[in-house]
Structures are given as C-alpha cells and as structure tokens.
Chain A
Amino acid sequence: MKNNEHNFDNEPNFPFDENGKNPFGMPLDYFASFEDKLKKKMELENELSEFPLLSSIQKTNAFQTPVDYFTKSENALEHALELVSFQKLQSIKTPDFADLETDYIRELNVSLVAKIELADELKSYSTLYALDKVNSFAVSDNYFEDLHLRVKERIYSEKHLSVSVFEKILDFVFGKKIAFSFGLALVISLSIYFYQDSKNSLMTNNCQTLACLEKQEILNDKSVNNFDEDQLMDLVNVKSLDKQLKAETSLTDTLQQEFILNNINTDQLLEELQ
C-alpha cells in the first residue's frame, strides 16, 4: 500500500487544512475499484445465503501459528534467498541445536542439584568447607599431548613380542597344533637316528696308525663303495679272516652231517649215489 501518496482533489466531505489540503488520504484507485469490490462481496454473500448455517458462523481463523513463526520464517526465507547465490553454503546443513539444548539443560539441572547436595554435605565439616578445593598436583609440560602415542607404542610392542616371526610363518603354513606335532615328530626321529648311529660306531679311540683310522672310518660310515679294492684288501686282517672262515666252514660241515644223519636214511643215500 502506498499510503503516502494522497489524492485529496476529489474529496468533498473533508475540510481542507490551512494549506488547502485534506489531512486524510486514501489509495489512489480507491473509488475506481470500489464498485468491483462491492460486486464481488455481494456475489459471495449471495452464494453463502444458500447455506444459512454456514453463513451464520462467524468467519474467523481458528488456526494459530507458533510464536514468532512469521518472523522466524521470514528470516529463514531471507537466509535461503541469500544462500541461492552461494551453492556450496547451501549444501551445508544447519545443525539442529534443539536436542542439544534439551540435553544441556537436563545435565545442567542434574549437575546443579549435585553441586548443592555436595555443598550441603560439606557444610557439616567446617574446616574442609573453608578450604579452597584446588588441584595441587601438576604434570610435566605437554604430558597429555603425547600420552596416546606412548600407550599405543606399548600396546603394539607387546603384541609384536608375543608373536615371533618363526611362529608367524609356522602358524601361516600349518597352524599351531600341526606345527607342534611336526616339530615333535622331527625331534623324536632325529634323536632315534643319532642314538642308533652312535651305538653302531666303533668306540676305538686308541687308533695309532692311519690304517686303523681308515678302517674305523669305513666301519662307522658303512660306505665301502667309495674305496677301491686294493684299499679294502689292505684294511682286511687276513689272519683273523682266515681263522673265521675256517671256523665257519667246520661249523657248517658238522651241522650238515648231523642233518643228514637225522633226516636221511641209508636207502636214500644209496639211491643218490647210484
């Protein structure tokens, strides 16, 4: 509405002021549009007259808005319009502080009640109550700045210590139980092997000649294939071997005779001879 723009010239019902001007004013097109407005109103009333109950009810707005709704919405609208030109800002959501405020007030209430309780409690101990409640302990400079690093370092170093690289590999390849069984079996078989080997080896530590040492080596290693025939012949004790062979032959002869006498009769022998 442009209330400041007046048209007093065609207004005969109001006295002019000292300057010849009417102090009252009205919209410029008031009289021009008056007839139209009147017609529309009469139309509406005629329409309503068909519904007597409806026309008897006073036409009021029963709806209400929250306090300052329009002020706020106007501000929000203005804000939105301002943001239109700033795309990035528009995408950022304004945080909703309503919940935060409710929580804050509730917590504040609880803490205030607790403070009052504490103060009341402390009043009964007059000396303590009179004292300033201060923290007299201090910490080294920047102590809290790197505390998390020290704690992390300790946590991770403990982890690394508990799992060695070898354990990791075994764990990766076999799993702990299998690795343990495998290791145990390996240890047992190796110990059996070495035990038997040591049992078979010659305990002659009194070798004085090269031949004796070579013989001992051959017997311990049991690898005669690596030696040539002459070497072996040198190493063999001819006398004792001859004795041993003779004894073995005589023994086998006696056994043969006994076997023939016990199991074969004379007829069978005669048949064989023929």
Chain B
Amino acid sequence: MQHYSDEEILAFYRDEKSQNMALHYLIQKYQKKLYWHIRKIVICHDDTDDVLQNTFIKIWKGLAGFKEEAQLFTWLYRIATNESLTFLKQKQKLNTTSIHPIEYQLSKSLESDDFFKGDEIQLKLQKAILTLPEKQRVVFNMRYYDEMPYEQMSEVLETSVGALKASYHIAAKKIEEILLNN
C-alpha cells in the first residue's frame, strides 16, 4: 500500500476534486498508529473504535483550519489523545453504579477482554500502567511503546521536554515498584 506524504495529502485536500481521496489516504496512513495510541489509553477495542472514528471526524472537520506550521502527525496525535481522555471522563460520569475510578474498571475489564492476548506478566504490566494518573499514563505509553522522541511528545502534549522526562521517570519508577511488589 502506497502512503502519500503529509504534504501530498494536504494538497489533495485543498483541491475540491480530490478531497475524497485525501480522506482515504489520511485514514490509510494513520489509522493503525492512531488506533494503537488510543487503544493503550481506553483499553477496550469497541471503545477504541468509537474514539478512533470520532477522532477522524474531528480531524476531517478541523483540517481546513490546520496550520502547516505544525506537523500533521503531531496534530493528529494531539486530537486522538484529547478525544481518548475526554471519552474516559465521559465514561466515568456515565458510570454512576461504580464508586471506583475509571482506571480500576479498565483494569478489571482487561482480565475478561477477548482482544487482550498478553500473558500474566503483560497483564500485570498493563494493570500497573493503569494505576498511573492519566497524563503519566499517556507519557509512559508514548515513550515506552511508541518510542517517540521527547521533542515530538512535547509538541503533541504541549508540555516541556523537561516535564515529560520527569513524568516518564516517575511513571517508570512506579511501575517498577508495582511489578516488584507483585
């Protein structure tokens, strides 16, 4: 599958005749990256699917106002991150039956998730990650799994590199402690 560059996709978008193609190429290029980024935040596959679709709809609606000073990739990641966190907040609000925080519910749902294929240690790791505050969780996932440079993370999360490094360090230490204690 051929992937067009971000510049080419934006050029397709600007031309009314090829706008549909732009949407197609945009989804083709970024669907997997954004899916896995969202999935690690919202955990459940069905929720991820909802958030991913909402993310693409937001991206599409906002693409006209996208300033090319920033990279398309970081802008997409930012929207996906915000959508995921907003989704979790809404889910927490809607779930009035449980007194536990949403992270606890996500952790419990992992055990029965058909689409989670990890072994025991992977389950423990995911549960440990879910104990982190949401911002630290996002930082840890982006650094540990996506191996994103701090500079890029800084653009996505609009936080300084120093703060991100500190955040990652605290998150990794906490996870270590949890894993060792278990």
**Cα–Cα, bound, A131→B36 (Å):** 19
B73 within 8 A of partner (CB)? no
A44 within 8 A of partner (CB)? no
Residues of B contacting A144 in the complex (Cβ-Cβ under 8 angstroms) = 31-32, 35
B15 within 8 A of partner (CB)? no
Give which listed residue, A114, A115, A139, A147, contacts B115 with CB less than 8 A.
A139
Q: Which residues on A are within 8 Å of B, measured CB to CB?
A: 114-115, 118, 122, 125-128, 131, 133-140, 143-144, 147-148, 150-152, 154-155, 158
Within 8 A of A (CB), among B106-127: 115-119, 121-123, 125-126
**Cα–Cα, bound, A252→B145 (Å):** 107
Residues of B contacting A158 in the complex (Cβ-Cβ under 8 angstroms) = 57
Residue pairs across A and B with CB atoms within 8 Å: the count is: 82
Summarize B's interface: helix, strand, loop or mixed: helix
Residues of B contacting A155 in the complex (Cβ-Cβ under 8 angstroms) = 23, 56-57, 60
Residues of A contacting B32 in the complex (Cβ-Cβ under 8 angstroms) = 144
Residues of A contacting B145 in the complex (Cβ-Cβ under 8 angstroms) = 133, 135
**Cα–Cα, bound, A128→B122 (Å):** 11
A128 contacts B175, C-beta separation under 8 Å = yes
Report A219 CB to chain B, min CB distance, Å: 61
B144 within 8 A of partner (CB)? yes
Residues of B contacting A151 in the complex (Cβ-Cβ under 8 angstroms) = 23, 27, 53, 56-57
Q: Which residues on B are within 8 Å of A, measured CB to CB?
A: 20, 23-24, 27-28, 31-32, 35-36, 39-40, 45, 49, 52-53, 56-57, 60, 115-119, 121-123, 125-126, 143-145, 147, 149, 172-173, 175-176, 179-180
Report B147 CB to chain A, min CB distance, Å: 6
Residues of A contacting B144 in the complex (Cβ-Cβ under 8 angstroms) = 122, 128, 133
B52 contacts A128, C-beta separation under 8 Å = no
**Cα–Cα, bound, A127→B172 (Å):** 10
Give which listed residue, A126, A131, A143, A148, contacts B121 with CB less than 8 A.
A131
Please, could you name 19 A-B residue pairs with CB atoms under 8 Å apart, sorted by A?
A114-B149, A125-B172, A128-B179, A135-B36, A136-B116, A137-B40, A137-B117, A138-B45, A138-B117, A139-B115, A140-B115, A144-B32, A147-B52, A148-B23, A148-B28, A154-B57, A155-B56, A155-B57, A155-B60
